[in-house]
Chains A and B, each alone.
Chain A
Amino acid sequence: MTGGRNSTPVLSLSAASLSFGERQLWHNLNLEVQPGEFLAVLGPNGTGKTSLIKAILGQQQLTGGTVEFLGRPVARGSRQIGYIPQQKLLDRSTPLRARDVVALGVDGHRWGLPVSSRAVKARVDEVLESVGATDYGNVPVAMLSGGEQQRIRVGQSIAARPRLLLCDEPLLSLDLHHQRSVSELIDEQRTALGTAVVFVTHDVNPILPFVDRVLYLAGGRFRVGTPDEVLRSEVLSYMYDTPVEVIRSRGRVAVLGAPEGYGVHDHLEHHERPSGVLG
């Protein structure tokens, strides 16, 4: 789909390590993400999934190794990256309509007044259409439901046709129906634009049909591979260091016996996140 570009990875981590004090989250992580690839980042809380996203955004210093985006060391943010943060509803008094939120994804970094060019307006209409939000484009964004706001966020994140889409638990607090439609939207975008997707989630099932590879983080260890290679009883038992059973049934995956709260260090998680965001 993206032709000759397939040789250049969008994202590459080499010998990347991250620890907080004594605690090692991951060590010697080597990973390349190709254009159009869908990578799911799985694992229990506190294993550094969100920290990985922050590292790619240049907001989290690695303890070792490098992260490169499009062949260059990551900077603090990039216009070639689309980002869907952990779901948090926009403030009730936000003086923006749904379409304005999408427009910020296109030209929010530009100086001046919020008057968008005709080209930007056309792009916003196109994006609203593609995320199925044309009906509520002019509705104040704070009046939208959680599912609708998340569609708008997906639209905002893809509006500038990014090379990489970072999704941090974008399905959290959505019902099953919306989980499916938001996942499908993200998948459609990566197929249409050849965008690489890094998708952090604690539940792989809504995105399982789209995932090319899985990065599984647990207990200071990691595994990379296709879902079939990684989501297996022996692999996860080794990672959790305890017998774990992976059951696959009707296209769904269930992990049984994974120690509840394994790797959870609440104080750590809270340090990693900006205040006011509930995890």
Chain B
Amino acid sequence: MGGDFWSQIFGFADYGELLWLVKNSILAGALLGVVGGLIGPFVMTRDLAFAVHGVSELSFAGASAALLFGVNVVAGSIAGSLAAAILIGILGAKARERNSIIAVLMPFGLGLGILFLSLYGGRSVNKFGLLTGQIVSVDNPQLLWLVVVSIVVIAGLLVIWRPLTFASVDEDVATARGVPVRTLSLVFMVLLGLATAVSIQIVGALLVLALLVTPAAAAMRVTSSPLLTPVLSVVFAVVSVVGGILLALGGGLPISPYVTTISFLIYLVCRLVGWRREKSGPGPRARLSKAAA
């Protein structure tokens, strides 16, 4: 009984062959890790964690509609999340308005998704996969979509990185300095929509935050360097996704619990490290307060 339980969670029989079969998924997973890790710090500084959740529910609705009508699921998922992201971007400039719009959109999206899935008569594995992750079952044409969209998001972020940072941490001053804050905000929402849509293919609509928020939140506990933050965040996200896929291979379970658990453990460790760092205080800070005393 007990042995059965564990072999369901971790199984490593014929591991080499399995690995070969899913090598494309692992590469795509790593790429998605890079996407999530790069966009995460902006999700945090722009206070959009809740928005990610809202976008993902509409993305889920789009994907299940695509499943029902027999079109490309990734395309459906992208259409849903872009619609949500742009709507939130246009209507929700202020945090409070934004949160109410998201709270309205979220159940609507989830409801639509459930409707489409109920109407869909196909394999139930596909249904469940949209909510909880399914990368291993993603076929090659869809993998290509994931790769192309991921590259678009990464390239877009690299181009707008600096002015987006300025606009995210200090909107008033950035506006005064002539940074196109509104345009940047909309462009970012589009990129976030795309990133959410592709992340859903791995961890599922319910768990995207584990990829788009947790790694960045962890990184920001241990560093404040504008370069080290995204680098660490990417490392954490890639480790979570690839590690999750590798661990999930042998067992019969979806990969999302592995991904979310690794990502959560990394966050815990970073919190501990960050707590110690704050307690002891970095060198120059301690010296300064001594000098002032």
Contact = CB atoms under 8 A, between A and B. Distances in A.
Given A94-B169, A95-B229, A111 B162 contact: yes
A112 B284 contact: no
A275 B94 contact: yes
A57 B175 contact: yes
Given A114-B227, A135-B287, A109 B166 contact: yes
A112 B161 contact: yes
Interface residues of B, number: 39
B293 interface: no
B212 to A, nearest CB: 15
A159 B162 CA distance: 16
Contacts of B223: 95
Interface string B252-276: 0000000000000000000000000
Contact of B158 (A59, A108, A113, A136): A113
Nearest to A116: B162
Given A104-B166, A139-B284, A77 B220 contact: no
A138 B284 contact: yes
Contact of B169 (A57, A90, A274): A90
Contacts, number: 132
A93 interface: yes
Q: For chain A, give the interface size range.
A: 35 or more
B162 A114 contact: yes
Nearest to B96: A275
B1 interface: no
Interface of B: 41, 44-45, 94-96, 158-163, 165-166, 169-179, 220, 223-227, 229, 278, 282, 284-285, 287-288, 291
Interface of A: 57, 59, 75-79, 81, 83, 85, 90-91, 93-97, 100-101, 104-105, 107-115, 135-136, 138-143, 153, 156-157, 160, 166, 274-276
5 contacts: A83-B176, A104-B174, A109-B178, A274-B172, A275-B96
